[in-house]
Each structure stands twice: as structure tokens, then as C-alpha cells.
Amino acid sequence: MITGWRNFDLSKRVHNIEKAFNKEKISAPEEFCIIANTPCYFGFGNNKRPKAYWEDPALMVKFQEDAFVSHLSQVDDDTMPYFMPWFGTGVLASAFGCTVREATGDGDDPAVHGYCIHSVADIARLKMPDPYRDGQMPKVLKFIDYARSHSDLPIGLTDMNSPLSTMMQLCGENAYYWMYDEPQAIHDLMEMITESFIRWVKVQKQHTGHDLDETGGLQGVTSPKGVGVWVSDDDLVTMTPALYEEFVVPYYSRLFTEFGGGHLHYCGNGNHQTPNILKIKGVRAINNSPMGKADVFAELVKTAGCGKLTIEIQDGAPVDIEGYYPLLFEGLDDIRGLMLATFIEDNLGMDNAGNTVIVRRDAIADAKRLVKTVRECVGRKLR
């Protein structure tokens, strides 16, 4: 990780991030890692930006550079600057043949629109994507190359929708039926998606200049060397543990091991999968959005945290900042390895029950409130 960018000293931020990943005890609230992302790379829930943001790399790079200058100048948290080549959550799915609805710039992002696998026979006809020809992949590489040539920002990976979630984009709910009726076909599909995921990450790292076990940034979190990949795995909440153990755990073990270790993200209550997640070789962190379920989150920390894995809290930032975080922290007895990595959006927030609500917020002001509130919660825990 870099320790400075432009005129900003980032060494304290690096220290706090490493402390969280090393699962060390903290002695002061200021050592607790808080990443309060203000509007940065994605359009969803944020103010309008030019449609050309997703067409002209100069616009995307300049927007993100300016956003980090603004944030680092005003918010005393642990956010680290990096360039995110952002094209929504369907880059890998688009390379397999899913159509993509382009962003309008009006609070949205590019998004997968429709399945491309409708039968088991379609799985057998699937081909390994070419990062230089297929779907959105060439555009991602174009933006990475521009950023490396024209910006001083470290460069991260594009969205890493997991092999499981990519499979659901390709197949829809049919994938669940086929797990029972055509299990070998699903294994074949997961094998191909996982292999294409690994190849795609390796190509990006060739263009960014990073080793396999490092990256400039992953979904709002800059990680220490030894954590080289991320998967967004929201579909795990809908699966039985037995299916997840058979069709997911072996593939993620291979994937995480390839890159030295990784994060696994999901939203909501996935506690039924925690034993499976702990079986994944190379898993370093669980990134969870508790969505108002303080008791569920406390159980996750008790089972997978407390010195085992790093646990990252990544809700969309609540509207009632001073009310939400005290409730979330109240049931936690051990905050080793715990960190906050939330996103504060211009026009969306979360109520205390985890519902998304429309707001008009000053993201920088709310980030300052959030940092103050969470440090007070940590201080109470330390006392």
C-alpha cells in the first residue's frame, strides 16, 4: 500500500488497515479502521454524472481523482485513494454473452439485462471469454491502461462479482434446479466461470502492474499484500449449506489460493453459511452488510471474527448515524479485526431496519458524523 498521495500522508490509514487485517487489539478509538467512502466510482444512488463517464477514461479518472482530493482534505478516516475501472457488476457475465444495459448517468450504472443460458445444452456450448475481445472486458482494460499512463492513483480491479453470482446472472433461478437435476453440468459451469474469473483477474493485474497477491483497491477497501482478490457473493444467502459446500467452496478455495487470499462479501443474513466460509482456503475477510440486524451481525462476529477472520461492515450508510451504530456495536464483545467500510451516497441511505430510503445528504458532512459516532462506540467498548 502507498503511504502518501499528492500532499496527503496516508501512513496512519495504512497502520489502521493493517491492524484490522492482522486482527490486533486496539488501545484507542483512533486505531479502529473506518473507511467512510463518499461518492466515488459508481453512479447508483448518486448525483447525475455525464453518460460519457463510462465511455471516456479521462472523465472517469478525473472524477475519481477529484473525489479523493475532496475526501482526504476533509474527512479524518482511513479511506485510501485508488482508481476503480467501474462498469457495474456484470463485466464477467457480459463476456459470456449476457447483454448489458448501458448507464444513463441519472443515478445508475451499466447492468446485466437478461440471461444467456436457458438450458443445460447451452452450458455445453459455452466458450471461455477472451479479455481482449468479449463483452465489457476490453473497455475495462482500456480504462486501466489510460489510468496507468495519465494518473497517479493506484489502480484497482473492476467489480469482482463472484463465480456463484455470475452463474446466477447467466442462468437465473434455473441454476438451483440444475444443482439437483444436473449437478455435473453445474460443476462444469462453475469450473469454467472460476477459470475465466482467475484469467480475467490475472490479465487486469498485468495491466495494473500488481503482483497476484496485491491490488490497488477492492470495492472500497485497500488491502495489505497477501489479499489479492475480492468476490461479491450475495447469492449465498439463498442457498442451503449443503449446496454451497458442494458447488462453491472448492472453487473459491482455488480462486483465493491463486491470489494469496481474498475478501468475501454478501448482504444480509448469511450466518447459515459461516461454517462453509471458514472452510474456504485463503479467505481473509468477510465483508458483510448487516442491514439493521444487530443480533445476526453479533453472531457472525462471534463465530467468524474474534481473531479468526477480519470482519468488514459495509452497509450503505444509515440516515440515523447516531442511532444505528451504537445498536450495532452494543452486542460485540471482541472488536479485534473489525473494521467499517461503508458507502455514503448522495441520494440513498438506510433506515435502522435495513431498508433503503431516498435522501438528499451532504456526504462529506455525514462522513464526519459517522467517523465521530463510530469512534465513540469503539471508545465505549474499550472502556
Question: For 53-89, what is each residue's pLDDT tens digit?
Answer: 999 999 999 999 999 999 999 999 999 999 999 999 9
Sign of CA dihedral 69, 70, 74, 78: negative
pTM for the model: 0.96
What is the model's pLDDT at position 311?
98
Tell me which residue of 335, 344, 338 sits closest to 316, measured CA to CA: 344
Gyration radius of the chain over CA positions: 20
Tens digits of residue pLDDT in 156-198: 999 999 999 999 999 999 999 999 999 999 999 999 999 999 9
- How is residue 315 annotated by DSSP? P
What is the model's pLDDT at position 172?
95
Tell me which residue of 133, 56, 53 sits closest to 94, measured CA to CA: 133
Residues 14 and 4: their CA atoms lie apart, in Å, by: 10
CB 247 within 8 A of CB 187: yes
CB 269 within 8 A of CB 181: no
The amino acid at residue 358 is I
Mean pLDDT within 243-252: 98
Q: Collapsing DSSP states into helix, strand and coil, what is residue 183?
A: helix
Tens digits of residue pLDDT in 302-357: 999 999 999 999 999 999 999 999 999 999 999 999 999 999 999 999 999 999 99
The helix, strand and coil proportions of the chain, stated in percent and rounded to the nearest 5, come to 45, 15, 40
What is the model's pLDDT at position 201?
98
Q: How confident is the model at residue 14 (pLDDT cuts 50, 70, 90)?
A: very high
Q: How confident is the model at residue 238 (pLDDT cuts 50, 70, 90)?
A: very high
Q: List the single range of 106-115, 141-150, 273-282 with lowest mean pLDDT.
A: 106-115
What is the model's pLDDT at position 44?
94
How many CB atoms are located within 10 Å of the residue 183 CB?
13
Mean pLDDT value across the chain = 97
What is the model's pLDDT at position 280?
98
Q: How confident is the model at residue 235 (pLDDT cuts 50, 70, 90)?
A: very high
What is the model's pLDDT at position 324?
97
Q: Could you tell me where the beta strands, DSSP code E, fall in the chain?
A: 4-5, 8-9, 34-37, 100-101, 111-112, 229-232, 262-267, 283-289, 310-313, 338-343, 348-350, 356-358
